[in-house]
Amino acid sequence: MNKPFNHTLMMMRTLFKRDWIKYLIWVIALLAYAASGAGKFELAMNSKATAASMYSLFENPALVALFGPTAVKHATDFTAASAFGGIMPLMTVVVFAVVSIIYVVNRTRKEEDEGIAELLRSFQIGKLANTTAVVIELLLLHIIMSLALAGSLAAQHVAGMPLSSNLLFSFSIGAQGFLWGIVALVMMNIFPDAGGAKGASIGILGTLYILRMYSDIKAESLSWLNPLSWSYLTDAYVKDNWLPVILTLLLAAILLALSYLIEINRDVTAGYLPEGNGKAHAGFLLKTFTGFTLRQQRTATIGWLLGIFVMGITYGSMIGQIGNLIGSAGSNNYMSRAMGITEHATGNVMTQDFLMTVYLVISLLSVCFAVTSLQRIVSEERHNRLEQLYSMPLSRTKLYLTYTVIAWVLGALAQFIGILGIYLVQMGNKNALSFGTLLSGGMVSAIGTLFILGLLGLLIAYLPRLSSLIWAYIGFSFFIGVIGNMLNLSNNIMNLDIYHNLTKVTTKTVHALSKTATGYDLNVHVNSQIVANWSSFWMILILSLVFVIIGLIGYRRRDIISG
């Protein structure tokens, strides 16, 4: 038909009825994730000495690579507001950019793959009506989220955080979330399926993140060429520069026009990239259910493993510099807390403390990979694909356990790949750690991954439509594990993170006599190593297996869901 926007308002109403709960969760999650830390930073930076210590942390190249540079030039000008504005924008944007990408692709390309778009277009609904409805709702949602975030920050009355700066901080995040939704819109027109569109969009996001790590350290002026860097180049609470927000919205408008242009000229379910033909005959592994399940996740597996390997290399490159980094903080221990290093730690002990934090970050990334793998049970079930499998000689027990074991093995493999990255980049150091030492301390966290998969299994068995709630706990664990030490949270809160007490650093003092020309000297060496906290290890392992068994029982007894 010649009216591409016909019935756009009707499609908007339909979208809102379908997704209003998701919108509400989206807003609440943003407030809980981004706004909750403002008051904590104010409490943590309660003295000039602490502020100076934290400023040295933010100036460190390792932290610049992870979160971006700070606009503050002198430690005396560093405040809780500038610290919050320095560390939170990029973290928040990356999380909610992924959410925007997934939402847009699910409501556009995925509905084409499932035949819903073709059914709608058989009525008097314009070719661009659904796309326009998604774009308008995405824009309105991010405006509401930005206003709610600014209001939440203003309500905390943190010194140095005026309403104008809160609005800038919030709208920089909202604009980025909208931009990455539009990026996904372009990709969904180019790629022949929803999986390819999501992978390409998230791949672009990851590539820009890695590129900005280099530019922020080596050539900060180049960061202006990176759209992802615009999230923190606003310099909220310091310079309050609105130009990056304007550039973000301008780029989103250009990409939206491009998306409309390429969508209006393509057929429904088609993409501009050709779909692969595949092999004429299935291989041996593809003829088994395990091999079939692994084949479905091949592309995602490669992407996750590569990303975690790069993260391991990034953190591993910091191991030889830990002494210098902590020494730059002077007598204050803020940087030590931020990196998980105990007070008065020296030498090898300091390195092992830092590795505990590195293992935690890699574990959280690995468990995200494992969770996406296990959640395929619900995804396949809701699209009525499991009914075809159950018509064959395949039991529910085998299906549930196969997905669970594959998810855990992939999570453990990701953990291994991250540790391998750490080892390879530090193996040339003077006091390089052996691969066995790194493995013995790092792979213990795989039990934490099994625990979270057990929780997810319970949700899949008894509350399958709410299985995505597992992400709330993962987000909480990420916040506690990465930010908890910086904010000096209590042990009661820290212990809610399943990874917190899985390992510990043990130290052993060795006294040795060495003969010299004048007699004997007593040499004292302190050796430390990360080992499993066996009481916690066995308790979590048993609890995880119990969760898996209870989940299996529930899954075998419940009805199949759909839609």
Q: How confident is the model at residue 31 (pLDDT cuts 50, 70, 90)?
A: confident
- 244 and 352 part of one domain: no
The answer as to whether 275 is a domain residue is no
Note the pLDDT of residue 456: 94
Q: How far, in Å, CA of 438 to CA of 529, rounded?
A: 9
Does the pLDDT at position 329 exceed 70?
A: no
Q: How confident is the model at residue 259 (pLDDT cuts 50, 70, 90)?
A: very high
Mean pLDDT of the region 471-500 = 77
- 252 and 315 part of one domain: no
- 257 and 243 part of one domain: yes
Does the pLDDT at position 204 exceed 60?
A: yes
- 403 and 336 part of one domain: yes
Note the pLDDT of residue 247: 96
Q: How confident is the model at residue 492 (pLDDT cuts 50, 70, 90)?
A: confident
- 73 and 217 part of one domain: yes
321-346 burial: b if 16+ Cβ within 10 Å, else e: ebeebbeebeebbbbbbbbbbeeebe
Note the pLDDT of residue 225: 92
Mean pLDDT of the region 37-41 = 69
pLDDT tens digits along 264-281 = 888 777 777 777 666 777
Q: How confident is the model at residue 307 (pLDDT cuts 50, 70, 90)?
A: confident
User: Are 452 and 498 within 8 A, CB to CB?
Assistant: yes
Q: How confident is the model at residue 1 (pLDDT cuts 50, 70, 90)?
A: low
- 492 and 529 part of one domain: no
Instruction: Report helix, strand or coil for 522.
Output: strand
Mean pLDDT of the region 437-442 = 85
The answer as to whether 253 is a domain residue is yes
Q: Which two tokens stand for residue 526?
A: 């302190």
- 378 and 236 part of one domain: no
Q: In the listed set 224, 239, 269, which residue is the last one of a domain according to the structure?
A: 269
- 241 and 130 part of one domain: yes
DSSP string, 438-464: HHHHHGGGHHHHHHHHHHHHHHHHH-G
The answer as to whether 164 is a domain residue is yes
Note the pLDDT of residue 311: 81
Does the pLDDT at position 365 exceed 70?
A: yes
Does the pLDDT at position 173 exceed 90?
A: yes
The answer as to whether 277 is a domain residue is no
Beta bridge partners of 505: 530
- 519 and 407 part of one domain: no
**Nearest residue to 74 via CA among 55, 93, 87:** 55
How many structural domains compose the chain?
3
Does the pLDDT at position 509 exceed 70?
A: no
Which residues touch 555 (CB under 8 Å, ≥6 apart)? 396, 400, 457, 460, 461
**Nearest residue to 481 via CA among 501, 466, 465, 461:** 501
The average confidence (pLDDT) of the chain is 82
Mean pLDDT of the region 254-263 = 93
Note the pLDDT of residue 331: 43
Does the pLDDT at position 253 exceed 70?
A: yes
Mean pLDDT of the region 338-356 = 61
Residue whose pair of structure tokens reads 């908007």 in the numeric block: 12
What type of residue is 462?
Y
Beta bridge partners of 529: 506
Q: Which two tokens stand for residue 491?
A: 């042990």
Note the pLDDT of residue 345: 47
pLDDT tens digits along 407-427 = 999 999 999 999 998 888 888
Mean pLDDT of the region 489-493 = 74
Dihedral, CA atoms, 449, 452, 453, 459, nearest 10 degrees?
-170
Q: How confident is the model at residue 452 (pLDDT cuts 50, 70, 90)?
A: very high
- 243 and 106 part of one domain: yes
Residue whose pair of structure tokens reads 């975030």 in the numeric block: 149
The answer as to whether 279 is a domain residue is no
**Cα-based distances in Å from 429 to 309, 320, 344, 413:** 19, 7, 23, 25
Note the pLDDT of residue 521: 61
pLDDT > 90: what percent of the chain?
25
pLDDT > 70: what percent of the chain?
84
The answer as to whether 282 is a domain residue is no
User: Are 125 and 208 within 8 A, CB to CB?
Assistant: no
Mean pLDDT of the region 10-17 = 87
- 511 and 526 part of one domain: yes
pLDDT tens digits along 119-164 = 777 778 888 888 999 999 999 999 999 998 899 888 888 888 899 9
Q: Lowest-confidence range among 80-89, 133-142, 167-176, 350-359?
A: 350-359
- 231 and 193 part of one domain: yes
What is the extent of the structural domain holding 40?
1-269
Does the pLDDT at position 330 exceed 50?
A: no
Note the pLDDT of residue 346: 52
Q: Lowest-confidence range among 149-158, 177-186, 498-507?
A: 498-507
Does the pLDDT at position 546 exceed 80?
A: yes
The answer as to whether 368 is a domain residue is yes
Note the pLDDT of residue 349: 65
> What is the greatest pairwise CA distance in the chain?
99
Which residues touch 481 (CB under 8 Å, ≥6 apart)? 357, 360, 361, 364, 497, 499, 500
Q: How far, in Å, CA of 501 to CA of 535, rounded?
A: 10
The answer as to whether 446 is a domain residue is yes
Phi–psi pair at 305, nearest 5 degrees: -65, -40
Q: How confident is the model at residue 78 (pLDDT cuts 50, 70, 90)?
A: confident
